[in-house]
Structures are given as C-alpha cells and as structure tokens.
Amino acid sequence: MVIEQARIDAPSAEAPKVAGGRPRPRSRGFDAPRFLPVITGLVFVYLFAPILVVTWFSFNSKQSLNVFGTPSLQWYDQLIHDPIITGSLFASIEIALVTMVVATVIGTLLAFGLVRARSHFSRPTDILMLLNLVSPEVVTGVALLLVFSEAGGFLLQFGIQFGLSLATVVLGHITFSIAYVTIIVRGRLAALNREVEEAALDLGATNVSAMRLVTLPLLWPAIIASGLLVFVMSFDDFVTSYFTTGVGVEPLPLRIYSMIHFGVTPEINAVGTLMMVMTIVVVLAALALFTYQQNARQELAFLAE
C-alpha cells in the first residue's frame, strides 16, 4: 500500500502549482543519495583534521602536543625572533617567486611552440616534457646534483665560482615546474578559436599587438593559475631542494626537517600554520586581483584606452 501511495504522490509533487495546493516537499526518488553528506563529511575530516590539529596546537600555551592549555601566540613570537627560521622563510619565498616568473615565461613559450609551430620537433618535445613530469623527483634531484657539481668543476677552470646555493635550488625547481605551466597553458591555447586572432589582424592589429591585446588577455587566467601552482609547489618542495641546496640558508621545508631531528616542537606547528596561511593568501590575492581587473575594465569602457 505504501508503494502505491508513493507512486500516486510523485507526479503531483512534481507540479504543485497545477494542483493548486501548497508546494509539497518533493518526495525522495529511489536513487536519491542517502549517505552522501556523511561520506563527504568523513572525507573532509580525513583531509583537514591533521591541518586543523596543527593549527590549533600552534596557539597552545604549553609545550605539549596533546594537552591544550590556554590560547597564546608565544610560538609565533619565538618564531619571528628566530633569525634562522625567518631567513629560511624569506629564502623560500624568494625561490618560489623567481621560479614562478621564470617557469611561467618558459612554460608559456613552450606551450605556444607545441600548439602553434607545425614542426617535426613538436611531438618529441611534448613527450620529453611529459617524461620530465613523471620521472621520480629523487632521480632528477640526484641528477641535478651531479650536473651542478660537474658544472662547478668545469667553470672553475675559467675562474668562475659556481657552487650549490639558493640559485641552484631555483634552477632545480624551474626544471620540474615548466611542464606544469605548459600543460595548463597549452590546454587553454588549443581551445582558443584561431579566428579570434585573425579577427584582430583583420581589424588592423599587427602580430605583436594581436598577441598583446587579444591572445594574452584570453590566456591570462591559465597563465596566472599555472604561475600560482608553481609558486606553491616550489614553496613547499623538499626533494629537489634537498639535493640542490648549498651550505648556509636552507629553504623552509629543509629547515623544518632539520628541526624535527630535535623533536616536534610547537614551533613547527606555528611554521606549518604560517606556510599554509601564506599559500591561501597567495591564491586569494590572485583571485581578488583577477576579479578587480575584470570589473575595472567594464567600468572604464567609455574612457580612453
């Protein structure tokens, strides 16, 4: 009987206005997800609980990692007065920024080459780039270390000092970052209607100004997105940094690793929280910048270019 009733109810629930009555809650179909919210919730807990714990305990007044005392900023205070940690933080930001700029430029150019140049080299280049992407980072790390030491020895013959330093870390990061940029930008570029660029030429734009006024503006979202990805990946990279860094200031992830040798301290929680906040801020800032740009363009439409 219950099934009978449900069947009769279903159509009237679909069209409550025709029936003239108040809209009734739509009856649940046999395939309506029942446990979806629960499962989704569990996945989120699994994903974010560790991060929340780290963040929470970074504000702990106690040294303990499992008993929370009172809220306090003492670990942050200790952090910013620790010249080694702040030095590492700034070194990592510096590395990430340089890597982002260089890799984004090279990766974008490569994307243009792969999509636009009708060359016999396109396909092999494509494969090499993907190979770079999937090759184990430890292997590339070791390889980079060998290359840099060889190069150092070679350049020394000409009186040029070249050793492992933050510069070699940047070089290492760039090698694995280019492929990410290329893949993201290439997707967008391939989807771009060729007629749009032809329209720009048709309307009197030279090749260079068509690129500046039409192609690049349409590619910006992809370029910015890939740049951000590179920044974040470079910022928290460990493996490549480990093999390519020299003596002196360490990138932040290496610093944290060294600190753990002396036990996990709340200070590490604070550093971790700080790194996470930085990453989120970078992404939000770029998003805000992007929305602002679009609005500004709309408002300034009637003003001179």
Partner 1 sequence: MTAAAEPPTVRLEGVVKRFNTTTAVDNLSLDVGKGEFFSMLGPSGCGKTTTLRIIAGFEQPDEGSVFLEGLSVENTPPYHRNVNTVFQSYALFEHLNVWDNVAFGLRRKKVPEAEIRKRVSEMLDLVRLKQKATSKPRQLSGGQQQRVALGRALVNLPAVLLLDEPLGALDLQLRKQMQIELKQIQRTVGITFVYVTHDQEEALTMSDRIAVMNEGVLQQCGTPEEIYERPANAFVAGFIGISNLIPGALEGPGVRLQTGQLIPADLEDGMAPGEAVLLCVRPEKLRLNSRADGDASVEGIVAETVYLGTATQYVIELAPGVRIVAIENNTQTASSDKRFARGSKVVIGWLPEHGRVLRS
**Positions that interact with partner 1 (CB under 8 A):** 193, 195-196, 198-206, 209, 213-214, 217-218, 297-298, 301-302, 304-305
84 or 199, CB closer to partner 1?
199
**Min separation Cβ 182 and partner 1, Å:** 22
Query: Which CB atom, from 10 or from 203, has the smaller least distance to partner 1?
Result: 203
Shortest distance, CB of residue 76 to partner 1, whole angstroms?
42
Nearest to 230 by CA among 178, 158, 171: 178
d(CA 96, CA 101): 9
**Beta carbons of 279 and 224 less than 8 angstroms apart:** no
Nearer to partner 1, 31 or 305 (CB): 305
User: Which two tokens mark 294?
Assistant: 């679009």
Instruction: Give the nearer residue to partner 1 in terms of CB position, either 77 or 198.
Output: 198
Report the nearest approach of partner 1 to the CB of residue 191 (Å).
Answer: 12
Provide, rounded to whole angstroms, the least separation between the CB of residue 222 and partner 1.
13
Between 40 and 209, CB nearer to partner 1? 209
Minimum CB separation from partner 1 for residue 97, in Å? Answer: 27
C-beta closer to partner 1: residue 116 or 297: 297
In three-state form (DSSP H/G/I as H, E/B as E, the rest C), the secondary structure along the chain is CHHHHHHHHHHHHHCHHHHCCCCCCCCCCCCCCCCHHHHHHHHHHHHHHHHHHHHHHHCECCCCCCCCCCECCHHHHHHHCCHHHHHHHHHHHHHHHHHHHHHHHHHHHHHHHHHHCCCCCHHHHHHHHHHHHHCCHHHHHHHHHHHHHHHHHHHHCCCCCCCCCHHHHHHHHHHHHHHHHHHHHHHHHHHCCHHHHHHHHHCCCCHHHHHHHHHHHHHHHHHHHHHHHHHHHHHCCCHHHHHHCCCCCCCHHHHHHHHHCCCCCHHHHHHHHHHHHHHHHHHHHHHHHHHHHHHHHHHCCCCCC
**In the complex, minimum distance from the CB of residue 132 to partner 1, in angstroms, rounded to a whole number:** 32
CB of 117: closest distance to partner 1 in angstroms? Answer: 18
Cβ proximity to partner 1: between 14 and 198 the closer is 198
